[in-house]
Structure 1
């Protein structure tokens, strides 16, 4: 590859929709010269097909939240309306971003589509996420906008007691932004979506790229409602019992209720359902059967990243063509590993570590 071809390939990686004229103007060459270089790159196999789709390794696209997590931990029972002794940690967060980092640790190439402000927190997010291996080249960078921040207080059991989310930046996560990255999204192995992004953007993605498979993280009851009318567009969903109630209209007070909710989603067109019942375990199923996996006994240090690790485990399992039972066990093991460390993302998350925990699950 010539130096000029490297320059052109770099520009196309940054903007797959760039025109030949824009390439020429940027490099100070004629449009006809740009066309010749592109033809040579196609012949050499660096560009596949029209629209400057770059030939590269398989990857997963994650569309969703990226933010800074500020977490307060208290060693004793929380006292409301009072100052509680404890300690505070600042780390990278966001459902989509957390899923993406877990996927990278599971050796899956991952591209994140999110919105980040051009501020101190935004720069920290960008640099450290790239350092972890996430492809951040397609994130929306916004001037004069605060990076999303999530402030939470965890009780002495490691469970979230209360939280405040400042996520106004995602109001700018537009359909036009997603259109500009259409070729990249359309060539992903599958797309993971979380409901932090606006409803019109969710609906656009699931309609425009309907040939892709979608995995859904519902995030919260209030945000899950965004997908209530299009739930059948998703191949795999992972709500907790409260999010499943909001989406199905079925009160879930028992295992039987959870099974009814699973049937509801499957009848809507979902292919795989995993309803988290907290410490009771997971009710899961597909069109062949619905079953229940009890939660293993495990010391909880920080439960915040459990769901993100579980979703990453489901994606990994699907790409490995695991059975439904293998999938839920691998995802449960990933979740169990996640909660055993104070960081939202366990630093030792890996396929090997998860498989070791799988051996211990009954």
Structure 2
């Protein structure tokens, strides 16, 4: 037990129904930091759920892709239609799996429903997921179809130039399979999906579990079109500028364009909207406010996985009832951590490190 955890435990012994904010004020730390310390105390068995504390049986469910990421980085300026000397890295990936992995590192009890091949790569995915406390009991394991592979090539700015994803196995996460996992999904605090799922599966999940807060990561301009007609079913949607253009039909060149785009999507029923703008920051909107937060200059080691970290931090913020502005700030900090590591998941992802970034950004 850490010294901070001992402090919190001693306070809880005297006042077991104290709020997280009151704890934060007593200890002169942020509420989000209190939340992760409490989660750690619960996992270690020192406390049980009481009042504001999440019960250890409470969890989110992430339904989406799992794969192996193979990433090529050129030593010099990328030359198309030629062989480029450089470096190739292999790591775990898949938007759904990445969100679930980051969520676990942020102290959220997380269940992953995905499709994985019974092969070398698949066993590696399952092993790593278990290592970080992810519940993978409801994953589909195939003896016929291989684990998905995502191959990306970065340019000399360490941003993705082109990628190919082979994710046929996700067709196995069909309506029948979702039905077979109904009880697990139905008891979730929130459900997160990515648009790698088949369109009819997405439609079924969003109609069947409309009583649960639903979150979506739109993945790509092509795949996001699967939700174009049902976007109003989501509590929160995270997308980039190009995906926002594809869903709204509005070309985004100015802040006014962002306003128009968000107003259109909100009018369709979305409650919270986050449009990531790369180095230019993020645009956020809900029914009461809309605003843009400027980007923070940072050294990019790899842009792969930054969006998934952003989404995981949105979920963390939702569970902690943060307002939309602080949610955006926390999520930007999480994406900065992701950008600073060559792997899709930065092993240093944590609430403590998010708070360090926030202080550097002079946001809190």
TM-score under structure 2 length normalisation: 0.83
C-alpha distance in 1 between matches for 2:215 and 2:309: 13
State yes or no: 1:74 paired with 2:79. Answer: no
State yes or no: 1:244 paired with 2:244. Answer: yes
Structure index of larger Rg:
1
Tell me the residue number matched to 1:205.
205
Secondary structure in structure 2 of the residue aligned to 1:291: strand
Tell me the residue number matched to 1:326.
326
Tell me the residue number matched to 1:174.
174
Tell me the residue number matched to 2:223.
223
Deviation at 1:75, TM superposition (A): 2.6
CA deviation vs aligned residue, 1:315-339 (integer Å, no higher than 9, x gap):
0011111111110000000001110
Tell me the residue number matched to 2:122.
122
Secondary structure in structure 1 of the residue aligned to 2:229: helix
Secondary structure in structure 1 of the residue aligned to 2:270: coil
C-alpha distance in 1 between matches for 2:206 and 2:81: 44
C-alpha distance in 2 between matches for 1:113 and 1:171: 13
CA deviation vs aligned residue, 1:326-358 (integer Å, no higher than 9, x gap):
100000000011101111111110000001101
Match runs of 1:297-336 below 5 Å: 297-336=297-336
Secondary structure in structure 2 of the residue aligned to 1:207: helix
C-alpha distance in 1 between matches for 2:76 and 2:258: 33
C-alpha distance in 1 between matches for 2:135 and 2:76: 40
C-alpha distance in 1 between matches for 2:300 and 2:281: 14
Deviation at 1:86, TM superposition (A): 0.9
C-alpha distance in 2 between matches for 1:208 and 1:317: 25
Secondary structure in structure 1 of the residue aligned to 2:222: helix
Unaligned runs of 5+ in 1: 1-54
Q: Which shifted more, 327-336 or 132-141? A: 132-141
Tell me the residue number matched to 2:31.
none
Secondary structure in structure 2 of the residue aligned to 1:156: coil
Q: How many residues align?
A: 308
**Equivalent pair of 1:75/1:155 in contact (CA under 8 Å):** no
Secondary structure in structure 1 of the residue aligned to 2:228: helix
C-alpha distance in 1 between matches for 2:321 and 2:172: 36
Deviation at 1:56, TM superposition (A): 5.3
Match runs of 1:260-299 below 5 Å: 260-299=260-299
Tell me the residue number matched to 2:103.
103
TM-score under structure 1 length normalisation: 0.84
**Equivalent pair of 2:56/2:109 in contact (CA under 8 Å):** no
Q: Which shifted more, 55-64 or 323-332? A: 55-64
Tell me how large the CA RMSD over aligned residues is.
1.0
Moved over 6 A (4+): none
C-alpha distance in 2 between matches for 1:187 and 1:361: 37
Deviation at 1:63, TM superposition (A): 0.5
C-alpha distance in 2 between matches for 1:210 and 1:81: 47
Deviation at 1:272, TM superposition (A): 0.5
Unaligned runs of 5+ in 2: 1-54
**Equivalent pair of 1:71/1:89 in contact (CA under 8 Å):** yes
